Structure 1
Amino acid sequence: MNLLVPTLTGALLVVGALAGCTTDDPVPEPPAPVTATPLPTAAAVPPTPSPTASPTPSDPAWPAAMDFGTAISGQQNPLSVVWLATASLATDDVDATLDPVTAQVDAAGYDGSAWPLSCQDAAYDQLGVTRTVEGEFGVGVIFAVHADAETFSRLWTGPELGIVDGDVFCDLG
């Protein structure tokens, strides 16, 4: 009988607790949904070109080119020129042909100036360019040693006609 007393007492307590609940008690509202505020995103940034696409003379993988003024003085011959484009005054729109290549070379940190192909006479034969009375111009990057020209050629991803080794001299004055 002692077992029934605690069970009966517990049951009465539960019934009493339930009797205190009425339908007039407010039903708790579910919590408001949580809305996530998106974080601001960074503006789209174009990808940085790889060193292969955009060389800089300060990058140790890319060889340093020779200054054009020094090269055309004829004091350091023979030199190696990586010719990237040529155009003839007789048959081509020189600006339309050479300006895009000049812009690529300049953007890469090298001197992309167009200069007379006659400043490196060997370029005519080695590149297969016909000499005209009007003259030919080209964009060429000049190096003191052939190995540097080969390194530039291997890393450069733009247009290229070839490497020409030979004397460079011009009197542009």
Structure 2
Amino acid sequence: MYLPLFLTGEPYLLSTAMAGLVLTLSGVAWAIASQVQGRNPERLSHELCLRIGLGLLGAAIVGSLLATLLVLPPYVFMITWALAGAGMGIMYPRTTVIGLQSSSLENQGFISSAMTVADALGAAVTIALTAIVFALLLPLGTVTAVAVAITVALGVWAAGLFTGLRAHVEAPEAVAVEID
């Protein structure tokens, strides 16, 4: 979310349309990756989707951090955030399925609500903490503030990696239905 702001300021000075292209490419990559994972459930297990998604997201965050620190050309951010979008597109839909498959039929409503609240709360807290860090560090320069904000994102990713690599879901057993 700080990337378009960063790209419109020093040292890049891109137009808002060009800076916003980073987010557009990320959204398109998210949609395409989500479509791919949804159409290949036999070949892409939940665990594999989590690992691929976390890998792409980690590569995107590290790549963005390096691009920020080294002041690499803006197209590097377009590539890294397309990777981030693809990672989220592969991983995000599967987290819902994992949560629902891991719960009993009676608890699925509760689990679905809990996941929605956790998603919203996690995003709000992360954005708020990053905003505080960004605002406090902005006097040191935009590059420093953005680099630290990306480092915070890297910490959140590491927590996701820790839990994501432990995820394992057994496929639910088929229920035979007799028709009389």
- TM score, norm. by length of structure 1: 0.24
Whose helix proportion is higher, 1 or 2? 2
When Rg is computed on C-alpha atoms for both structures, the one with the higher figure is 1
- TM score, norm. by length of structure 2: 0.23
Q: Compare relative contact order (CA 8 Å, sep 6+) and give the higher one, 1 or 2.
A: 1
